[in-house]
């Protein structure tokens, strides 16, 4: 099916961009809005995905001034299909964050500006919530699509690892990063996904695979993960399960061993990869340039790398420590073993049905409530989004309830390469649930 998209021409777009700029001054959804005249169906793109001629900063000072001269493969394919990029959306620096606050000017929740958007694809979630008939091309490493989709009341699809090329993505953790989509309808997300899937010789991790839609009627609830979920969230989630059981889904409660280790395994692996991937930012080639060549070796690179934000520095330092010769076997190799054990156990379950759970273990918090929480507390918020990301399984967050005006999202997971079954599930859900999107810009 073909989705509906906001399609603008020339001067229509100029007026639209003006309205978008006014809203953006309050909500910080975009790092860059292109005011040049556009033709075609409009999309936005997360600021760690390269778009030719537009800044690509990953919301980091160290990349200020970097303007790529090429498109990411996903963007190239969408532009060839008649889509136009309107701008680059805000995010946690390099994707490091669950709340959207690790940015110089954090994005604000479109339902209430006092609340967080979720991260790291914070701006993509806000732009999708605000713009009529819109899809934003985003990215997830450990929950960067599901978390903001849940907090901002939209749909977030994270595809199977490898089915969409990562060429042109500013990497965080190469074995975990996945380009995905945020939208408001199954048809819209399906259309952009169909245009972007497929093998890419520029990306050695991309796969050529048939994407299926085998839709099971069994929903598994993982009780040992639900133990860490807020009691209020559990109550609302039980209501969702009741509704789905009325639609002939069979609900089964199970336990999957080792899932309690998914968050520490994820952070060990992702920080290790991040410390390697961020090593290329040295003040020479990308973005921020060190101009004083009289500095000695250490001073030169320190003057560049001090441009990293606090969370980026933390992950580089920890990742470098984890990769050190004396520590690698103790932590890194054990994390790899845990990852493979979790994949095997989840894979067995997903051959039989969907896994369903809340997207986030808490209600959307206020910005003031999370600004001072510890890093470990922040990382623990990923307990539900990390397992499918760690294993590369496709998953989708969708709105299912509104609590005091704020949305709640549930997350559904399926087997590798069965991505379209999630969109079929969403189509069915859309016909039974009334979304409450914010006032839309059109």
Specify whether 330 is catalytic: no
101: closest CA among 119, 127, 89, 114? 119
Specify whether 46 is catalytic: yes
The one catalytic residue among 44, 60, 84, 120: 120
Which H or E run contains 339? helix 332-350
- The lowest-confidence range among 157-161, 264-268, 289-293, 358-362 is 289-293
What DSSP line would sit under 217-276, residue for residue? Answer: SEEEEEHHHHTTS-HHHHHHHHHHHHHHHTTTPEEEEE--TTGGGHHHHHHHHHHHHHHH
Radius of gyration of the chain (CA): 21
Q: What is the pLDDT of residues 186-206, one digit of tens each?
A: 999 999 999 999 999 999 999
- What is the rounded average pLDDT of the residues 171-188? 97
**pLDDT at 297 > cutoff 70:** yes
Tell me, what's the pLDDT at 183? 97
Quote the domain boundaries for residue 341.
1-442
**pLDDT at 439 > cutoff 90:** no
- What is the rounded average pLDDT of the residues 218-231? 96
In the numeric block, which tokens belong to residue 347?
Answer: 């894979």
- The lowest-confidence range among 102-111, 366-375, 430-439 is 430-439
Cα–Cα distance list, 174 to 120, 155, 170, 207 (Å): 16, 24, 10, 15
Q: What is the pLDDT of residues 88-97, one digit of tens each?
A: 999 999 999 9
Tell me, what's the pLDDT at 435? 83
Tell me, what's the pLDDT at 98? 96
pLDDT band at 261 (very low <50, low <70, confident <90, very high): very high
Phi/psi for 388 (5° steps) reads -70, -30
In the numeric block, which tokens belong to residue 287?
Answer: 């973005």
50: closest CA among 75, 31, 27, 26? 75
How many structural domains does the chain have? 1
The one catalytic residue among 98, 121, 136, 144: 144
Residue 62 near residue 109, CB atoms below 8 Å: no
- The lowest-confidence range among 264-268, 286-290, 416-420 is 286-290
- The lowest-confidence range among 172-181, 278-287, 388-397 is 278-287
pLDDT band at 386 (very low <50, low <70, confident <90, very high): very high
Mean of the per-residue pLDDT values of the chain: 95
Tell me, what's the pLDDT at 1? 47
pLDDT band at 40 (very low <50, low <70, confident <90, very high): confident
pLDDT band at 291 (very low <50, low <70, confident <90, very high): confident
Phi/psi for 274 (5° steps) reads -65, -40
Q: What is the pLDDT of residues 60-95, one digit of tens each?
A: 999 999 999 999 999 999 999 999 999 999 999 999
pLDDT band at 3 (very low <50, low <70, confident <90, very high): low
Q: What is the pLDDT of residues 109-135, one digit of tens each?
A: 999 999 999 999 999 999 999 999 999
**pLDDT at 38 > cutoff 90:** no
The one catalytic residue among 46, 88, 108, 184: 46
| Residue found under tokens 């209430």 | 112
Percent of the chain with pLDDT over 90: 85
- Beta partners for 43? 85, 135
In the numeric block, which tokens belong to residue 128?
Answer: 């999708």
| Total length of the chain | 442
Residue 255 belongs to domain with CATH number: 3.90.1300.10
Specify whether 120 is catalytic: yes
Q: From CA 403, how far away is CA 137, in angstroms rounded? A: 27
């Amino acid at each position: 099916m073909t989705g509906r998209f906001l399609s603008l021409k020339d001067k229509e777009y100029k007026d639209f961009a003006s309205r978008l700029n006014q809203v953006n001054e309050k909500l910080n959804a975009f790092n860059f809005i292109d005011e040049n005249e556009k033709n075609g169906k409009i999309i936005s793109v997360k600021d760690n995905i390269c778009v030719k001629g537009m800044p690509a900063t990953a919301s980091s000072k160290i990349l200020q001034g970097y303007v790529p001269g090429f498109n990411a493969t996903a963007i190239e394919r969408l532009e060839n299909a008649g889509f136009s990029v309107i701008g680059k959306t805000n995010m946690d620096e390099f994707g490091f964050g669950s709340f959207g606050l690790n940015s110089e000017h954090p994005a604000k929740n479109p339902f209430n500006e006092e609340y967080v958007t979720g991260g790291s694809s914070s701006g993509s979630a806000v732009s999708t919530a605000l713009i009529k008939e819109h899809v934003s091309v985003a990215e997830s490493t450990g929950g960067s699509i599901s978390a903001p989709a849940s907090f901002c009341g939209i749909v977030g699809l994270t595809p199977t690892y490898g089915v969409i090329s990562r060429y042109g993505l500013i990497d965080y953790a190469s074995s975990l990063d996945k380009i995905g989509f945020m939208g408001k309808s199954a048809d819209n997300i399906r259309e952009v996904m169909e245009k972007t899937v497929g093998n890419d010789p520029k990306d050695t991790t991309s796969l050529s695979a048939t994407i299926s839609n085998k839709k099971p009627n069994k929903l598994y609830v993982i009780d040992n993960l639900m133990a860490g979920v807020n009691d209020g969230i559990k109550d609302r989630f039980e209501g969702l399960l009741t509704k789905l059981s009325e639609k002939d889904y069979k609900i089964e409660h199970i336990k999957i061993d080792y899932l309690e280790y998914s968050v520490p395994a994820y952070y060990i692996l992702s920080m290790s990869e991040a410390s390697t991937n961020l090593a290329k930012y040295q003040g020479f080639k990308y973005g921020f340039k060190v101009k004083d060549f009289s500095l000695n070796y250490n001073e030169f690179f320190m003057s560049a790398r001090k441009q990293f934000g606090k969370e980026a520095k933390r992950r580089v330092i920890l990742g470098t420590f984890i990769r050190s010769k004396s520590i690698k076997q103790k932590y890194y190799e054990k994390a790899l073993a845990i990852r493979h054990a979790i994949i095997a156990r989840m894979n067995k379950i997903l051959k039989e049905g969907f896994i369903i759970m809340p997207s986030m273990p808490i209600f959307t918090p206020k910005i003031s409530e999370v600004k001072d929480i510890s890093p470990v507390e922040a990382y623990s918020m990923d307990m539900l989004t990390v397992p499918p990301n760690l294993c590369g399984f496709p998953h989708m967050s969708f709105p299912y309830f509104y609590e005091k005006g704020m949305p709640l999202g549930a997350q559904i997971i399926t087997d590798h390469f069965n991505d379209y079954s999630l969109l079929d599930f969403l189509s069915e859900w859309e016909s039974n649930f009334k979304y409450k999107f914010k006032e839309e810009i059109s």
